[in-house]
Every structure is written in structure tokens, then in C-alpha cells.
């Protein structure tokens, strides 16, 4: 493009007319072209400087950078030529005037300024400033002569200047033409440029758009890359965390395996636990499939267990009977053996006597035989002597006959004795055999008795285990159902009720003696409202029913697992509800001789905590105690005398409750809790009512926060145990309350009624549950509507006198039992690393 433009630019100079074209001018060439002009040209230009000064300055100058414009060096390139042409042109145009001047001045006018300058080396200024001085008396012709060279010079200079002027005018014209040409070219080029610019602008726009697109894509790519990098970093972090966890798990595994090695002795126990856990997990899986089916299955199983239990108990009773009859048989057999042994001994004695008799008889016989032989000998001697008298012979014959009779008698006797002896021997053999048989029978019976005793123990153990399984399954079902558990406890008839005829001490409650509802059901009989109306029976079933004979120990046994779960990180809430004087305080606090749930729970928590220390668990426990009296919270552990502070209840998102400005005491042994309880009981509002000498006039809340940390696994648990003794509901009319007592009773009844409303709303699954209607319900909110394991003791008085109150309480208990709360949740943190 530049080349094209340069080629169109006219170049003034020698042979260069207005339309003449020149070769494109390259800066290097332009510079080089100036060089060969040599110093002579430079000198000439210097000499021209004065004459050319003005016109040259007015001439357009070009620079190589402007392309089309010839540079000064360009003009220099053709300087010689241009000067010559200008001179020629000038001389051609100025010819007449010069000729005219020559004609006036004669030969003076023929010399040109260039010649003068070359000859004299003068500059125009030198000529113009020349002064001519004459000595006095110089002749005018001399003076004229003196002026002639100066005039010549001045004329030559004048011509030169005129020529220069004409040359300049020519140049100006040329330049004007050239300029017009250039302008049109420039205009064309400008159009071209504008079009090209537009095109370029369009292209630029396109490029810009492309760039923007590219930019957007780049940005997108960058953000993708950034995102990818972030994801990568996240993944890397996750991987690192997982690696850490893996390392941690590996370390844990290593530690665990070491611990396993160390705790080899506990393996059996753990295996047992694992087996039980597997059993539970199988059962739980079954339960998860269908709770209802599981419930039925559980009922069936429980029935089966119950049947099995009954059967086993029957078997046990039967086995016991059999054992007893076998023992009797054994005693009889022993007697028989003893008898036979005696008989055998007497037979042995008889045989010895018979043997002695036999020996005697044998000796007598031998003697008789000897006598007979002697008599025979005598007879023979007498016969031989022939002379013996007939009398002697007869006498001898008689003797012989007698002796023979004696002999045969003795022989008979001997044979009978022999028979007797054989019989006795037989008897003895028989009794020996019988004794052996009896002895083996006795051994067999003994083995039987032992095995029966074993199976009896086994059956008893199975019954016990079945009962344990039943209870555990029941607990699991309760947890799965998320119900509030209800244990009903009936207190015994008090001595005053029994002795005072003013009281109707007849029992209003019955308990099933066998069957499915054994230990779970009860029936209340209430007198008809109208006189003559028959008493009415109402049956109820709860998670557990404790009849009046149940000891504190037995009651606690039933809830110790629940208490234990507070150590495992659960929130546990146990509260006692019932009419005044029904045994709530006795159940929760008890007496020194018969401690209740709170002291026993503390004992268990501390003992279990100590046991768990062997497995590297450390526990930190904090207790607080408050009472809600006339709808105001009071700190029972505050040591301030005038504790008029207003306490506010707040619940956090984890369901943990905080009461502002409440005294928290670190406890690490049960005795410390005993002291706190004693201190709190001193402060608690208690009064005497017509129905209870030591009636609690406030709701008392004992709260213990248990934080556990396993130093080897870094696992953490945070459990809460809330144990609450509510004030008793009462009929104001019957309690005889007036004044302050009346106000207290009204506040108590109001808050209990608010509790009833909350329970109803929960049971009916209402959207709004009015927890905020009383301090008590607001405080219990996480236990009633949250994820606590909650148990309510329903305390009931046993006699007909309180039949109606008992019926109300039992109905309320049924409602509570049907209340569903969230499934209890453990608050456990297991380390990630």
C-alpha cells in the first residue's frame, strides 16, 4: 500500500515534470543518495543558503516517514539536476530582463551572481552591507568607477533574487498542482481508507466480538478451571480427611487390637455382648420391616416366652414333684435296703446258730453212731458169749430201737436244718441281689435327681433369660415406637387409712394374677356416682404396674437401664405424676432407709462411671436443682439468702435446656449429691394438707448433665438426666386449702392442666402444641416433644376413697402412654481423624 502511494507521488527535479513518476523512495536509499553528492555540493548549498533561504524554507518538505513526500535528501539527490533545470528555466524566463539590464549597464550586467560569488566568495549580506569610501578630492569619474563593481554585484544579486523568486513561483504552481493531485489522491485514499477503516472497524468489531466470545469462553474456562481446581482442592481435602480418618481408623484399629490383646480376659464377655447385639440387631431388622408385624411377633413371642415360662414353671413344679416323689422313693428304698440288711444280718446270725446246731447235732449223731456201734459190738459180744439173758437182750433191743428212733429223728432234724440252711442261703442270695438292685436303682435315681435338678436350674435360668429378653425387646419396641413409657405404682394402704374408720380403706385396685397382663395391667373399681349405683370397673395396661408390695429396689431395677442410657449419651427424663399423697416423693426421693429413684440413679451413675474408667472413659457431671413454685422458677442450690432473681428457660437446637442464673454444681461422688438433695429439700416448698402431712407444693426438677470423654478413642458423649417430682394434683375442696395453700393448689392444678393439654395435643398430633402455657410444660418441652427417653411414674393411691382420682390419673396415664415423641437420639461424637 505504501509502495503504491509512493509510486504515485511526483518528484520535482531534473527531468521530473508535473506528471513524471519516480521510483519508490526507500529511506536507506534516500540517505545513501545524499552521501555521494560530496562536499562540493554541500559547499555550493551553503553558498546558496542565503539566496535559497526564503524560497527553500517555503517549499514543501517531505519526510521518509510520510512516504509520499520527498525528503530533503530526496531533493538533494537530484540537487544538481534541479539547480540546473531551475537555472535553465530561470535564465529562459529572466532572459529578457537580464538582457535589458546588460544593455543599460553594458558589460557589467553580463556577470551572474553565481560567478561573482564563486569568484569573490561573498555572501549576499556582504554585498548589501558594502560601503564605499572616497578620499577627499576624489574625482567623480573615480567615484563612479569605484561604484561600478558594486553596482555589478548588486545587479547580479538582484537578478539572482528575481530568478529565485520566479523559480519559487514555478515551484509553488507545481506544488499547488501536485498538492491538488495529492489532495484528490488523498481524498480517494481517504475514501478508500474510510471504506477500509469501516471494513477494518467491522473486522475489528467482529474480532472484538470474537474476542469477547473468546473472553467469555476464557472466563468460563477459567471459572471451570477454578471450579475444577476448587473441586480438586475439596476432593483433595476430602481425600486428606479420609486419609486422616483412615489413618485414625487404622490407629484406632491398632489401638483396638492392642486393647483386644490386653483385654483378652474380657473377650468372653464381649463375645456374649456381641451375640446379644447380633440377636438384637436381627430383631431390630425384623422390627424395621414392619413395626406392627413386629409388635404382633413380639406379643406372640412374649406369649410364647410367657407360655414357655409357665410351661417351664409347670415343668419345674412337676420336676420338683418328681424329685420329691423320687426322694420319697429313695427314702423308702433306703428303708427297704436297711430292712433287708437287717434281715440279712439276722439270717446270717440264724445261719450261724443253725450251723452251731448242725455241728452239735452232727456231734450227737456221731456220738449216737458211736454208741450204736458200741451197742452192736456189745450185742455181738453177748450173742457171741451166748449166755446172756433174754431180758438183757430185750433191753438192749429196746435201747437199740430207741437209739435208732433217736438217730432217725436226728437225721430228720439234720435234713430239715439243712433245708432251712439252704433256704436261708437262698434268702441271703436273694436279699444280696435285691440290695444290689436297690443300690443301682439308688445310683440311677441319684443321677436322675441330679439331672432333674440341673434341668430345673436350666429351666429357671431360661425363664430368667426369657424375661430379660422380653424386657429388652419391650424397651427396644418402646424406643422404636417413640412413646413415653408409663410405669404405674400403687402405694400400700397407710396405717392411718387402715385404722381410721373415717377412711374407706377397701382396695379399689386389682392386679391380674397370671396371663399376658401380669405385671402390666390393673383394674380400678369406683363407686357409682349415684347412691345405689353398682361400682364400676375400669381396666388399664401400662408398660409396668407395681403393686403395693413392690420395694424401691424392685422399682429401680426396672428403670436402671434407662438411667444407664444417660451415661451412653441419651437425654433421659423421669417424672412422677399423681394425686397428692399418692407416693411421688417417696418414689423419686424415698427415705434414708428406703432411698428412691434419684439417690439410686446417682449411685448407679457413679458406679458405672467408675467401671467405665477401666475402658478409658472420664466423666464430668454437673447437677442443678430447681422448683417451680406458683409459676416461678427458684434455684434450690443457690446459697444467696434473698434469691429473687428471675430465671429464664431456653432450649437450644440440640434440645438442651438452659435456665439462666441457675447454680450448677460439679459432682463426682454420690455423697455430694446426697448433700445437695438435703440442701434442696430444706429449701423446697412443702406444706401440710388435709391429704398429706408433707405435701410438696412445687414441681421439683433435679437435672444432671453428664459429659463423657474416652481418652483412647476420643469419643465424646453428652447425656442429660432429668428427674422430676411433680406437685400433686388435688381437689381443692377435699384438700381443705385456703389462703396461700389455695393459691398454691390453683397454680399446681393450672400447670398440671397445661401438662394435660400438651399431652392431648401430642397424642392427637396437633400442629400446635401449647408448650408455652406454663413454666412446667416449657421446661419439659424437649422431653415431651423432643428426642428424650421419657418415663412417667403414675402414682396411685390404693383405696376406694381415692377411686375417682385414681381413675382420672390412670386415664391421663393412658393418654401419656399413647403419646409419640421423636425416636430417642444419642448425643455422641466419634472422632473423624
Ligand X SMILES: Nc1ncnc2c1ncn2[C@@H]1O[C@H](COP(=O)(O)OP(=O)(O)OP(=O)(O)O)[C@@H](O)[C@H]1O
The nearer residue to ligand X, 165 or 505, going by C-beta atoms, is: 505
Q: Has 411 been labeled as part of a binding site? A: no
Q: Residue 580, annotated ligand binder?
A: yes
Check residue 687 for interaction with ligand X (CB under 6 A).
Answer: no
DSSP 773: G
Check residue 581 for interaction with ligand X (CB under 6 A): yes
Residue 179 in contact with residue 186, Cβ under 8 Å? no
Would you say 592 or 640 has its CB closer to ligand X? 592
Among 55, 124, 578, 708, binds ligand X (CB under 6 A): 578
Provide the edge-to-edge strand list for the sheet that holds 536-541. Answer: 509-510, 521-526, 536-541
Which CB atom, from 499 or from 653, has the smaller least distance to ligand X? 499
Which helix (DSSP H) or strand (DSSP E) does residue 254 occupy? helix 140-262
Q: Does 735 bind ligand X (CB under 6 A)?
A: no
Q: What is the DSSP letter of 704?
A: E
Instruction: Tell me the closest approach of the beta carbon of residue 608 to ligand X, in angstroms.
Output: 26
Q: List all residues 6 or more positions away from 331 whose beta carbon is below 8 Å from its beta carbon.
A: none
Does 569 sit near ligand X (CB under 6 A)? no
How is residue 129 annotated by DSSP? T
- Cβ neighbours for 733, distance < 8 A, ≥ 6 positions apart: none
CA dist 131 and 147 (Å) reads 10
Residue nearest to ligand X (CB): 728
Asked if 582 interacts with ligand X (CB under 6 A), we say yes
Indicate which single residue of 74, 164, 657, 795 sits in contact with ligand X (rule: CB under 6 A): 795
Query: What angle separates helix 803-818 from helix 739-763, to the nearest 10 degrees?
Result: 40
Q: Looking only at residues 546 through 565 of this chain, which bind ligand X when binding is defined by CB under 6 A?
A: none
Q: Does 798 bind ligand X (CB under 6 A)?
A: no
**Interaction between residue 694 and ligand X (CB under 6 A):** yes
Does position 248 interact with ligand X (CB under 6 A)? The reply is no
Nearest to 700 by CA among 615, 597, 625, 631: 625
For 54-93, b/e burial (b = at least 16 CB within 10 A) is ebbeebeebebeebbbbbebbbbbbbeebbebbeeebeeb
582 labeled binding residue: yes
CA-CA-CA-CA torsion for 3, 18, 183, 52, nearest 10 degrees? 100
- Integer Rg of the chain from CA: 71
Q: Which of 565, 585, 624, 751 is close enough to bind ligand X by CB under 6 A?
A: 585
Q: Cβ of residue 526: shortest distance to ligand X, in angstroms?
A: 20
Q: Least CB distance from residue 491 to ligand X, whole Å?
A: 3
Q: Using alpha carbons, list the distances in angstroms from residue 68 to 60, 197, 512.
A: 12, 20, 127
CB of 304 to ligand X, least distance (A): 33
- Does 309 show up as a binding residue in the annotation? no
Closest CA to 800 of 489, 486, 487, 493: 493
Residues 50, 123 contacting (CB under 8 angstroms): yes
Of 164, 580, 608, 777, the residue at the interface with ligand X (CB under 6 A) is 580
In whole angstroms, how close is the CB of 253 to ligand X at the nearest point?
A: 51
Q: 60 vs 736, which CB is nearer to ligand X? A: 736
SS3 594: coil
- Does residue 599 touch ligand X according to CB under 6 A? no
267-289 vs 291-385: helix crossing angle, rounded to 10: 130
Q: Considering beta carbons, is residue 191 or 743 the nearer one to ligand X?
A: 743
With binding defined as CB under 6 A, does residue 692 bind ligand X? Answer: yes
The answer to whether 695 contacts ligand X (rule: CB under 6 A) is yes
Binding of ligand X by 728 (CB under 6 A): yes
Q: Cβ closer to ligand X: 73 or 695?
A: 695
Query: Residue 175: which residues within 8 A CB-CB, separation 6 or more?
Result: 12, 59, 60
**Closest distance of CB 673 from ligand X, Å:** 19
Minimum CB–partner distance for residue 812 and ligand X (Å): 14
Decide: 708 and 717 in contact? Cβ < 8 Å.
yes
Q: Which is nearer to ligand X, 331 or 688 (CB)?
A: 688
Please classify residue 751 by burial: count the beta carbons closer than 10 Å to its beta carbon, then call 0-12 exposed, 13-18 middle and 19+ buried. Answer: buried
Q: Which of 62, 175, 577, 586 binds ligand X (CB under 6 A)?
A: 586
Our CB check for ligand X shows the closer of 13 and 728 to be: 728
Size of the site for ligand X (CB under 6 A): 18
Smallest distance, ligand X to C-beta of residue 510, A? 18
Of 25-33, 392-400, 646-654, 689-697, which segment contacts ligand X by CB under 6 A? Answer: 689-697
Q: Give the C-alpha separation, 819 to 314, whole Å.
A: 38
**809 counts as binding ligand X under rule CB under 6 A:** no
Q: Closest distance between ligand X and the C-beta of residue 507, in Å?
A: 14
Site residues for ligand X, 480-499, by CB under 6 A, read: 491-492, 494
Shortest Å, Cβ 798 to ligand X: 10
Applying CB under 6 A, which of residues 164, 283, 431, 696 lies at the interface with ligand X? 696
User: With contact defined as beta carbons under 8 Å apart, do 811 and 775 qualify?
Assistant: no
Q: Summarize as ranges the residues that interact with ligand X (CB under 6 A).
A: 491-492, 494, 578, 580-586, 692, 694-696, 727-728, 795
Which residues carry a binding-site annotation for ATP?
Answer: 578-585
Annotated binding site: 578-585
Amino acid at each position: 500500500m505504501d509502495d503504491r502511494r509512493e509510486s504515485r507521488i511526483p518528484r520535482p527535479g531534473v527531468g521530473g515534470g508535473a506528471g513524471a513518476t519516480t521510483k519508490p523512495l526507500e529511506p536507506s536509499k534516500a540517505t545513501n543518495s545524499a552521501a555521494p553528492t560530496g562536499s562540493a555540493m554541500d559547499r555550493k548549498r551553503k553558498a546558496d543558503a542565503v539566496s535559497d533561504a526564503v524560497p527553500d524554507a517555503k517549499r514543501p518538505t517531505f519526510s521518509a516517514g510520510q512516504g509520499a513526500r520527498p525528503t530533503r535528501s530526496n531533493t538533494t539527490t537530484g540537487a544538481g539536476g534541479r539547480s540546473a533545470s531551475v537555472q535553465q528555466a530561470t535564465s529562459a524566463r529572466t532572459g529578457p530582463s537580464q538582457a535589458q539590464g546588460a544593455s543599460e549597464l553594458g558589460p557589467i550586467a553580463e556577470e551572474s551572481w553565481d560567478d561573482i560569488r564563486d569568484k569573490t566568495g561573498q555572501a549576499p549580506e556582504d554585498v548589501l552591507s558594502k560601503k564605499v569610501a572616497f578620499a577627499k578630492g576624489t574625482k567623480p569619474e573615480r567615484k563612479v568607477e569605484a561604484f561600478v563593481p558594486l553596482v555589478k554585484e548588486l545587479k547580479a544579486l538582484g537578478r539572482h533574487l528575481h530568478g529565485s523568486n520566479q523559480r519559487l513561483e514555478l515551484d509553488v504552481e507545481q506544488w499547488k498542482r501536485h498538492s491538488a493531485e495529492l489532495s484528490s489522491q488523498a481524498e480517494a485514499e481517504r475514501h478508500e481508507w474510510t471504506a477500509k477503516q469501516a471494513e477494518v472497524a467491522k473486522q475489528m468489531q467482529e474480532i472484538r466480538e470474537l474476542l469477547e466470545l473468546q473472553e467469555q469462553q476464557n472466563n468460563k474456562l477459567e471459572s471451570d478451571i477454578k471450579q475444577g481446581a476448587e473441586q480438586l482442592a475439596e476432593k483433595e481435602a476430602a481425600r486428606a480427611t479420609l486419609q486422616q480418618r483412615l489413618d485414625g481408623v487404622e490407629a484406632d484399629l491398632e489401638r483396638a487390637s492392642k486393647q483386644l490383646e490386653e483385654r483378652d480376659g474380657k473377650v468372653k464377655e464381649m463375645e456374649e455382648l456381641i451375640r446379644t447385639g447380633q440377636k438384637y440387631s436381627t430383631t431390630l431388622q425384623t422390627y424395621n420391616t414392619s413395626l406392627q408385624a413386629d409388635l404382633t411377633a413380639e406379643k406372640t413371642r412374649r406369649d410364647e416366652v410367657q407360655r414357655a415360662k409357665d410351661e417351664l414353671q409347670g415343668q419345674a413344679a412337676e420336676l420338683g414333684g418328681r424329685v420329691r416323689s423320687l426322694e420319697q422313693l429313695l427314702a423308702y428304698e433306703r428303708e427297704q435296703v436297711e430292712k433287708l440288711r437287717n434281715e440279712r444280718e439276722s439270717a446270717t446270725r440264724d445261719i450261724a446258730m443253725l450251723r452251731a446246731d448242725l455241728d452239735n447235732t452232727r456231734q450227737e449223731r456221731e456220738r449216737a453212731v458211736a454208741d450204736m456201734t458200741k451197742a452192736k459190738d456189745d450185742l455181738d459180744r453177748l450173742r457171741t458169749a451166748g449166755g446172756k439173758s433174754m431180758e438183757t437182750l430185750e433191753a438192749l433191743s429196746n435201747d437199740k430201737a430207741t437209739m435208732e428212733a433217736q438217730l432217725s429223728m436226728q437225721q430228720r432234724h439234720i435234713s430239715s436244718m439243712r433245708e432251712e440252711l439252704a433256704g436261708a442261703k437262698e434268702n441271703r442270695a436273694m436279699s444280696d441281689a435285691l440290695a444290689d438292685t436297690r443300690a443301682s436303682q439308688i445310683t440311677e435315681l441319684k443321677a436322675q435327681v441330679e439331672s432333674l435338678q440341673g434341668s430345673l436350674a436350666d429351666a429357671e435360668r431360661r425363664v430368667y433369660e426369657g424375661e430379660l429378653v422380653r424386657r429388652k425387646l419391650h424397651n427396644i419396641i418402646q424406643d422404636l415406637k417413640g412413646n413415653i413409657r408409663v410405669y404405674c405404682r400403687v402405694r400400700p394402704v397407710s396405717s392411718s387409712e387402715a385404722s381410721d374408720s373415717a377412711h374407706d380403706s377397701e382396695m379399689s385396685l386389682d392386679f391380674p394374677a397370671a396371663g399376658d397382663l401380669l405385671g402390666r395391667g390393673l383394674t380400678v373399681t369406683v363407686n357409682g356416682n349415684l347412691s345405689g349405683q353398682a361400682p364400676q370397673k375400669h381396666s388399664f395396661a401400662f408398660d409396668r404396674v407395681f403393686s403395693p408390695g413392690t420395694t424401691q429396689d424392685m422399682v429401680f431395677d426396672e428403670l436402671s437401664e434407662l438411667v444407664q442410657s444417660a451415661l451412653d449419651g441419651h437425654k433421659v427424663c423421669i417424672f412422677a405424676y399423681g394425686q397428692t399423697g399418692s407416693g411421688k416423693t417417696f418414689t423419686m426421693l424415698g427415705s434414708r432407709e428406703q432411698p428412691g429413684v434419684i439417690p439410686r440413679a446417682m449411685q448407679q451413675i457413679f458406679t458405672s462411671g467408675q467401671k467405665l474408667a477401666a475402658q478409658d472413659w472420664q466423666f464430668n457431671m454437673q447437677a442443678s436443682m430447681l422448683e417451680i413454685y406458683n409459676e416461678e422458677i427458684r434455684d434450690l442450690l443457690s446459697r444467696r439468702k434473698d434469691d429473687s432473681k428471675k430465671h429464664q428457660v431456653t432450649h437450644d437446637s440440640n434440645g438442651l435446656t438452659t435456665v439462666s442464673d441457675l447454680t450448677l454444681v460439679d459432682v463426682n461422688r454420690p455423697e455430694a449429691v446426697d448433700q445437695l438433695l438435703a440442701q434442696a429439700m430444706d429449701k423446697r416448698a412443702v406444706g401440710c394438707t388435709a391429704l398429706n402431712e408433707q405435701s410438696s407444693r412445687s414441681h421439683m426438677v433435679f437435672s444432671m448433665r453428664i459429659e463423657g470423654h474416652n481418652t483412647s478413642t476420643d469419643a465424646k458423649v453428652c447425656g442429660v438426666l432429668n428427674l422430676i417430682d411433680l406437685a400433686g394434683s388435688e381437689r381443692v375442696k377435699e384438700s381443705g386449702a385456703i389462703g396461700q395453700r389455695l393459691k398454691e393448689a390453683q397454680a399446681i392444678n393450672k400447670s398440671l392442666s397445661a401438662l394435660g393439654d400438651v399431652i392431648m395435643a401430642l397424642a392427637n398430633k396437633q400442629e400446635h402444641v401449647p408448650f408455652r402455657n406454663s413454666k412446667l410444660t416449657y421446661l419439659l418441652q424437649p422431653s415431651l416433644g423432643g428426642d428424650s427417653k421419657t418415663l412417667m411414674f403414675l402414682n396411685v393411691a390404693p383405696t376406694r376413697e381415692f377411686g375417682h382420682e385414681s381413675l382420672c390419673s390412670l386415664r391421663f396415664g393412658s393418654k401419656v402412654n399413647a403419646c409419640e415423641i421423636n425416636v430417642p437420639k444419642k448425643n455422641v461424637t466419634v472422632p473423624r481423624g
